[in-house]
Each structure stands twice: as C-alpha cells, then as structure tokens.
Chains A and B, each alone.
Chain A
Amino acid sequence: MTSTTDTTARSGRPLPPRFVRPSISTFLGYLVGLAVLVWSIQGSGWSTTAMLDGVPALMDFLSRAWPPSLTRIETLSQALVQTFQMAIVGTVAGVVLSVPLAILAARGLLAGRIVNGLARAVIAFFRTVPDLVWALIFVIAVGLGPFAGTLAIAVDTAGFCGRFFAEAMEDTDKGPVESLRAQGVRRLDTIFCAVIPAAMPAFITTTLFALEKSTRSSVILGLVGAGGIGLELKVAMDMFDYPTAATVILMVFGLVMLVEQAGSWARGRIIG
C-alpha cells in the first residue's frame, strides 16, 4: 500500500491520497533528525522530574518576590532610562556604520566581487559574534560602564542592518540607475540619488527592528558590567533581594513592550 484512499460520499470519485510514501532519502532524513533530537535531549539534561521538583522552589521565589519593592525605584528608573539611551545611541551608531558597509557588500552596486565578499565577511562577523561577547571585549577596551555596552550594541546593529540594507539595495529597480549611468552619472551619485531613496522604507523598518533588538540586548549587557539596568538585576538576585528583582523584570518588560508597540505603529505608518 502506498497510500490510503478516500472516496467522496456523493460522487464515489476517489480523492487524492492523504499521504505519499516518502522516498528513501527523505525517510533517512527524518531518521537522522530524530536521532539528533534524542542525542541532544541527553546532552541538554532535559528532565521532567527536575522540572516538577523545581516548581516549589519557583513558587517560593515568586512568593518572596511579591510584592515588587519600590524602595529603590528612583535608582532603578535612572538605570532603565540609561538602558534606553544606550539602545538609541548604539542603534544610531550601528546604522551609520552599516550604510557604507552595506554599499560595499551589495552585489552589482559599487564594488567588485572581492570587496563584496570582504564587506560581507565583516558584516557576518559583527552579526554572528553575540552582543554579550562584544560587551566583554569593549569592557576591556573602554572600561566598565554604559559606553562599553553602547559600542557592543553598535557593532551588533551594524551586523544586523548591514545585511538587510545590502539586500534591500540589491532588490531595488535597476532602471533609474541604468538611465542615469547612460547619461554619464557616476555610480556613487546613482547610489545616493536613486538606490537609497528606493530602499528607504526597508531601511527605516529595519532600523526600527534594530532598535527593538537593541533595547532587549541593552538589558542583558549590564550583567557583564556594560551599563544599564542589567547590573541592578544581577545585584538584586545575588543578594536574594527578590522584590527588587521583580521590579526590574517588570520595568524591563514595560520598556521592551513600549518600544515594540511604538515600532510596529511607526512601521505601519511608513509602509501604509
């Protein structure tokens, strides 16, 4: 049997089979996927009993964290504002850095194959090294504090935006560039007068996504001393001051939600 066959009640005509027997290679693919999953479950220490045993401890944490403490609200608010400021400056710096990188990386725009490849490699490196690792590196370079975190966000944003900006520019209609080149306009001018304006909506939506991403990561960077509210969270947890930790978590939740809402509202305005 290769398939199960249905017939419709009314016409008696056979319907297409629900399942088609997979080819040998597809079947082997499924098998390998399953094996990798089983193997990974072992390595990850996944344990349902540990999860169930953990519930009382979690409840204990929640009951001790409630109600959130407002005693340090002023310091925490300042730290939250700093977190957001880091996200904004880091995003803007990253976007500014990513535009020239993207121009060099976009195929058929300005540079040849070799430069395209190099710029792509730089962008990929910026993007694939996690932001927390960049923060550790910049703490060494410029010391503890928000500037290290801001630089980490900038590099991470350059990696994110560089890739999408380059793709957006590659996807623009080449007609205007060709018509202008035929009249003797230089490549660089065609990029600024024709390609970037055409890619601008994509640039703006990508930048808004980058800002949301930066806001989330700026919270974490404090854990390694790179400024922002993350440090407050770490200190509160280490000192078993769970009510303050709860406050920080709720504040972070509020900020990220706010930025995401504002971002999707702005995107809707721009695309619409």
Chain B
Amino acid sequence: MTLTLVHGAETPKLAARSTAEGQISVRDLAVRHGSNPVVFSEVSFHIERGETVALIGANGAGKSTLLKCCLGLMAPANGEVRMSGQPIGGLGTGALRRLRGTVGFVAQKHNLVSRLSVLSNVLHGTLAANPGPGAWLHALASATQRERAMEALERVGLAHLALKRADQLSGGQSQRVAIARALVGGPRFIFADEPAASLDPAAGEEVMQVFVRVARDTRTTLVFTTHNLDHALTYAERVLGLCERRLALDAPANSLQTGGLRDLYN
C-alpha cells in the first residue's frame, strides 16, 4: 500500500508524544459568538486515535462551531479542548498553526482554487509543513512533493485527472480532490464539515466511502458532521448529537437507529 508515503510527514516531535497522538479531549466546553447566548455548554467527550465519529444536530446546533473550537479558530467561553494531548487554549500562534498542520480539513464546498490544476490544489495541502513557492504550483514543486500529491490523488481514485483544471471537475470529483488535499500532509485528524451535503446521493456515498477507507488505512481520527442520518450510522463508529445547547447523544453507531435520531431535530 501507499501508506508510508502519505504518512511521510510524521515529525519526530509528534512521535515522541505518541500516547495522546490523534486524540481529541473536550471537557466542559461552552462557546458563544460575541455577546450572543452560548451556542452550547457542558460539552465533554473523548475521541481515540483512529476513531470515526459523526457529529449531528439541527441547523445552528453548533456543529461547525465545535469543529472551529477544536482547530483553535474560536476561543471557548468555558472549558478546554485538547488535541493530541495539547490544551489548545494555551498555544501561541506558531504552535497553534503547527497543530492545525496535523489536521486535514474538508468543508461543504470543496474550496478548490478553480483556475489551478488538480495537482496544484492537492500540493497546497503540504504548505503547512513546507511553506513557500514550492507548493504554490505543481510546476514549481520538487519531485518528492509531486509524488506525495500523486499518492494522495491515487487514494481518492483521481490520479488520472492530475493535470485537469479544478473547475472542470464534477461536484463529487472536486470533493474527492479536497479530500486528497486534506490527506497529502499526512494528518492525524480529518475534520469534514457536511462534506456530502452539496452532492447528489451517489457522489455523496462515494465521498463518504473514500473518507472512511482513508481514515482506516492511515489510522487517522475522522470527525464529520452531517444531516444525513444514514451516513452517520453507516460510516461512523460513534455518533455525537448536539441538541438544545447540550451534547444530547454520545453512542456507538451500531446501537442506534435513524428513527431514534430524529428526536434530536425537534
């Protein structure tokens, strides 16, 4: 398998802390936007390395907000988030950026740079570890970098489209390229915020399958949000549910049924 190369970004510093590597610990978390009332509070959970977790809840329940907190893009009003054992509240800008460098992020929109090639877009995923012109465009990249990007594209099954312009892809293909961009840096975590929401059902299934396969192959912790309860139950091992400003659900996926989950939306 291509596992070694995609994992090549592993830094010695991270390996030294390997016990907590890839874990997410959230304790008594409360968040508010500005002076608005809290989005949620008293949220606590622990995710092990390599776990696949779905985060569900109604629109505005705070799913995206929770992901942002884990990335240190928002400061919590209360409580603590630890990523790979590090409390992210205490990190400086540089350390926070290095931590984010261990995360692959996929949003609902693929957010590719439309005028650039697929390969260049994937290379952008290596910029956190290797800043500078070498990863701006594939034409400027080193052979190793290009090879890593091609490995990541192979994982999502799109190596044959490497030189196509990103705006010539279908929605499902674009989202798979976004996954390749999230993978190429060899992340410890993959965060996906409604990754299948703007895709047709078939493309959505395909994208979810790619996520789960890649996360399992590389023992990467995967957290995705979704409004598709089938996706949550099929592709996640564990489901977290936000409802009425609390973490109302934290259970293994195989103990749940879609019917029961609908209560979260009332």
Chain A residues within 8 Å of B, Cβ to Cβ:
173, 175-176, 178-186, 188-190, 192-194, 197-198, 200-201
| Interface residues of B, count at CB 8 A | 37
- B119 close to A (CB within 8 Å): no
Contacts A183-B104, A183-B125, A184-B99 given: A176-B182 contact, CB under 8 Å? Answer: no
- B116 close to A (CB within 8 Å): yes
Alpha-carbon separation in the docked complex, A192 to B73 (Å)? 22
Q: A residues within 8 A CB of B75? A: none
Alpha-carbon separation in the docked complex, A33 to B137 (Å)? 54
Listed residue (B97, B103, B124) with the most chain A CB atoms within 10 angstroms of its CB:
B124
Alpha-carbon separation in the docked complex, A78 to B182 (Å)? 57
Q: A residues within 8 A CB of B181? A: 179
Chain B interface helix/strand/loop/mixed: loop
Alpha-carbon separation in the docked complex, A190 to B132 (Å)? 10
Cβ–Cβ contact B124 & A180, under 8 A = yes
Chain B residues within 8 Å of A, Cβ to Cβ:
71, 73, 97-107, 109, 111-116, 120, 124-125, 127-128, 131-133, 135-137, 178, 181-182, 185, 187, 191
Alpha-carbon separation in the docked complex, A180 to B112 (Å)? 10
Task: Tell me which of B98, B100, B107, B187 contacts A175 (CB under 8 A).
Answer: B107
Cβ–Cβ contact A192 & B97, under 8 A = no
Cβ–Cβ contact B132 & A189, under 8 A = yes
Closest to B107 in A: A179
Cβ–Cβ contact B127 & A193, under 8 A = yes
Task: Tell me which of A181, A184, A197, A200 contacts B98 (CB under 8 A).
Answer: A184
Cβ–Cβ contact B107 & A186, under 8 A = no
Q: A residues within 8 A CB of B97? A: 184, 186
Q: A residues within 8 A CB of B133? A: 192
9 A-B residue contacts at CB 8 Å? A175-B107, A179-B178, A179-B181, A182-B73, A182-B105, A184-B99, A192-B133, A193-B127, A201-B115
Alpha-carbon separation in the docked complex, A200 to B181 (Å)? 22
Alpha-carbon separation in the docked complex, A198 to B111 (Å)? 12
